[in-house]
Structure 1
Amino acid sequence: MPARATDARRAAVLGSPIGHSLSPVLHRAAYGELGLTGWSYDRFEVDEAGLPAFFEGLGPDWAGLSLTMPLKRAVIPLLDEISETAASVEAVNTVVFTEDGRRVGDNTDIPGMVAALRERGIEQVDSAAILGAGATASSALAALARVCTGEVTAYVRSEARAAEMRQWGERLDVEVRTADWADAAEALCAPLVVATTPAGTTDALAAAVPERPTVLFDVLYEPWPTALAARWSLAGGAVISGLDLLVHQAVLQVELMTGRSPVPLEALRAAGEKALSER
């Protein structure tokens, strides 16, 4: 049932660390645009050990939760149901509390990535490259399963990580080739490059940006731009940022938690850009 403006409902983002999260800014902006004056959205520092107790303390006024690291997999045993999308990568970033008290997990990172690509006109590519092999890389691989018709090459630092990415490829029905991180510069010639690594990791690759780069999806949003994104943009390539991803997945979260649609994307993006400029 869609939320009423006067409903007193709560939502929040959980994780550790959590102080940097833009989710409160985005969700509150959405509530304001939707006229949900009775809704609130907060952030809580919660680690894996503290997650069960946090859940047990929630009352019937709670509508949903956003989850960031390290909770996306730890939350699964606490849920009554998870979506096929979340199950495909064993990662939940959204929990919705239903009227009958069920805890339902979903993953909006994957469709959020696809939506961010489509916003820039990228409906399909014949090959792609992923920089990194962590939890975000598996979500990126799941997103690429929807837009990439050919091989995805993952550039990683260890054989263990390479094996993980190949396993994810088999599970998601994506043709995955793995390559050593030492050769990551060659990834930059792919039709679509998805950088999923922590801040600073790809800085050394900036000097290797080709003369005519194609599309870079860098999942970071702070600090921004990254050295790689700045050089890519300077060379005339298209750049999709972590803020684009964050905004698109937040829109989907708000829709799931409130039942309201459409959620004003540009209002959330403007709120996020303003908050980042003030940091």
Structure 2
Amino acid sequence: MPPRATDACRAAVLGKPIAHSLSPVLHRAAYDALGLTAWSYDRFEVDEAGLPGFFEELGPQWAGLSLTMPLKRAVIPLLDEISETAASVDAVNTVVFTEDGSRIGDNTDIPGMVAALREHGIEQVDSAAILGAGATASSALAALARICTGEVVAYVRSEARAAEMREWGERLDVDVRTADWADAGQALRAPLVIATTPAGTTDALAAAVPERPATLFDVLYDPWPTELAARWSMFGGAVVSGLDLLVHQAVLQVERMTGRSPAPLEAMRRAGEKALAER
């Protein structure tokens, strides 16, 4: 079912906290480049308890929503349908409202990760390491299911998190081995390292970056660069940033919500870089 196709449409990003979100900057840049002058994109602070009420207030002018934490799983019961990609990780970051009123959930984080890696020349790896666990790590694992042919080692802080990552591996058909966070320095020798942890968590690992590192995908974008990413670049390694991910997943959201393709990736990237530089 195609997205709504009226001249004037609304979209927004929801989450809590939400003031930091770059999504309005990226989507508005896309609308400008596409000539969608009547489209608007806002941000609203909404938590799990407030989400059903927010949906009830939405009118026919709404084209779609972007969702961030803590709403990616809470939204699922409110939807009529979700994509296979979203179902694979029980997480929806995109909702499209169709002309017949249906609410369709999707996940653009996973293909966004794959697209960001491919933009940096990473089409396939024979092994990889993930730093961290949780929702972002499960999305990273789902992305690796598409490009990694061998073992993925997840470095985590507890046995509960380790068990969770192994379960995700079984579900996504990925060969996952878990290791203790105390040994996370060993992860940095992998062909691809995906850091999914909060700001500051990997700072202590910067000293362990090998002399010839391969590729680091650090999902953070503010502050940037992280100490790990800066050290990685200093030693000549390739770095994929959280902004790369944010832009690529937003490109897919714009295409799904507007029905216009391709979305203006470079215009969106420039807008994101400018906004970050001004912070």
Fold agreement, TM-score > 0.5: yes
Tell me the distance in 2 between the aligned counterparts of 1:184 and 1:61: 48
**Which residue of the partner structure matches residue 224 of structure 1?**
224
Tell me how far 1:30 sits from its aligned partner: 0.2
Gaps of 5+ in 1: none
- Residues 1:31 and 2:42 are matched in the alignment: no
**Structure 2: distance between partners of 1:84 and 1:272:** 29
How many aligned residue pairs are there?
Answer: 278
Counterpart of 2:184 in structure 1: which amino acid?
A: A
Q: 1:264 Cα deviation (Å)?
A: 1.1
1:12 and 1:118 mapped to 2: Cα distance?
A: 28
Three-state SS of the structure 1 residue aligned to 2:139 is helix
RMSD: 0.9
Separation in 2 of the partners of 1:100 and 1:45?
A: 27
- State how 1:96-175 maps to structure 2 within 5 Å: 96-175=96-175
TM-score by length of 2: 0.98
User: Are 2:4 and 2:98, in contact at CA under 8 Å, matched by a contact in 1?
Assistant: no
Q: What is the aligned partner in structure 2 of residue 22 from structure 1?
A: 22
The letter for the 2-side match of 1:188 is: L
> In 2, are the aligned partners of 1:3 and 1:260 still within 8 Å (CA)?
no
State the partner residue of 1:192. Answer: 192
Q: Report the Cα distance in structure 2 between the residues aligned to 1:202 and 1:21, rounded to whole angstroms.
A: 22
Taking every aligned residue pair, what percent have the same amino acid on both sides? 87
Deviations 1:86-105 (A, max 9, x none): 00000000000000000000
Q: Helix, strand or coil: the match of 2:153?
A: strand
Match of 1:244 in 2: 244
Q: CA deviation at 1:163?
A: 0.2
Structure 1 outlier segments of 4+, above 6 Å: none
Question: Alpha-carbon deviation of 1:8?
Answer: 1.1
Aligned to 1:177, what secondary structure does the other structure show?
A: strand
Return the alpha-carbon distance in structure 1 between the equivalents of residues 7 and 249 of structure 2.
23
Q: Return the alpha-carbon distance in structure 1 between the equivalents of residues 128 and 214 of structure 2.
A: 11
Alpha-carbon separation, structure 2, partners of 1:9 and 1:73: 25
Alignment partner of 2:73: what SS? coil
Give how far 1:3 is off. 7.0
Q: 2:81·2:103 contact (CA, 8 Å) conserved in 1?
A: yes
Shift of 1:2: 7.3
Contact 1:2 1:260 in 2 (8 A): no
Alignment map for 1:176-187 (pairs within 5 Å): 176-187=176-187
Counterpart residue identity of residue 112, structure 1 = G
